[in-house]
Amino acid sequence: MRLALLFGLIGSAKASGDYFEPFPTCADCLPASVHDAPGLDSVSRYLPANSPPPPPPSRWEKLRRSFNKKIGRSATPDVGIIATILVSLRDVTSIAVTSPLDRVAVSHFRIQGLAEPDLWDALEYAHIRPWVAAGLPRPKVVLPLPAAGGYPSQLLESYAVFAGHRKGLCKHYKSFWQCAEEQGNVPLETTLVVGITPTDLRGEIIRTRSAFTDLQPRHGDRAFVDLELGLATSEDKPDFWARVTDRLQGFCGTVPEGFRLDTILLTGENATHPAFLQALRSALVGNGYLQRESDSGGKVSFVHEGGAVIDPVFASARGAAQYARWRQEAPIGCEEQDRCEEKRRRQGKHVELRGCLHEELFATEDQCKTYCTANGCTKTKNKDGEERFECDYGERKKGDCSAGIYSGLWQCENRCDGGKCERELGTGDFNCTGCAKEESKCEDGVYDDFDKCFDKCFDNCHQGMCSESAGEDGVTCKC
pLDDT band at 468 (very low <50, low <70, confident <90, very high): low
In a domain, 363, yes or no: no
Residue 340 domain-assigned (yes or no): no
- Domain final position from 311, 328, 345: 328
Mean pLDDT over 230-237 rounds to: 88
Give yes or no for a contact between 447 and 464, defined as CB atoms under 8 angstroms apart. no
Residue 32 counted as domain residue: yes
Does residue 19 fall inside a structural domain? yes
Provide the domain limits for residue 321.
2-328
**Minimum mean pLDDT among 192-201, 348-357, 399-408: which range?**
348-357
For residue 349, tell me if it sits in a domain: no
pLDDT for the residue numbered 355: 41
Domain boundary at 328, 350, 384, which? 328
Reported pTM: 0.61
The predicted structure's pLDDT at residue 250: 93
Domain membership flag for residue 346: no
Is 224 within the bounds of a domain?
yes
Mean pLDDT on 46-50: 38
The reply to whether 449 and 319 lie within a common domain is: no
Residue type, 102: D
Q: How far is residue 312's CA from residue 259's CA, in Å, rounded to a whole number?
A: 25
Query: What is the total count of domains within the chain?
Result: 2
Handedness of CA 393, 394, 400, 403 (dihedral sign): negative
217 contact partners, CB below 8 Å, separation of at least 6: 110, 156, 206, 223
- pLDDT band at residue 157 under the 50/70/90 scheme: very high
Question: For a pLDDT cut of 70, what percent of the chain falls above it?
Answer: 63
* Residue-level pLDDT at 241: 95
Bridge partners, residue 145, by sequence: none
The DSSP bridge partners found for residue 190 are 207
Distances (CA, A) of 332 to 328, 391, 466: 9, 19, 37
Check residues 380 and 244 and name the one with the higher pLDDT. Answer: 244
Residue with more model confidence, 119 or 404: 119
- Whether residues 324 and 446 share a domain: the answer is no
- Among 328, 355, 383, where does a domain finish? 328
> Can you tell me the distance from the alpha carbon of 107 to that of 104, in angstroms, rounded to the nearest whole number?
10
Residue with the bigger pLDDT between 144 and 461: it is 144
Whether 456 is covered by a domain: the verdict is yes
pLDDT of residue 116: 76
104 — pLDDT class (breaks 50, 70, 90):
confident
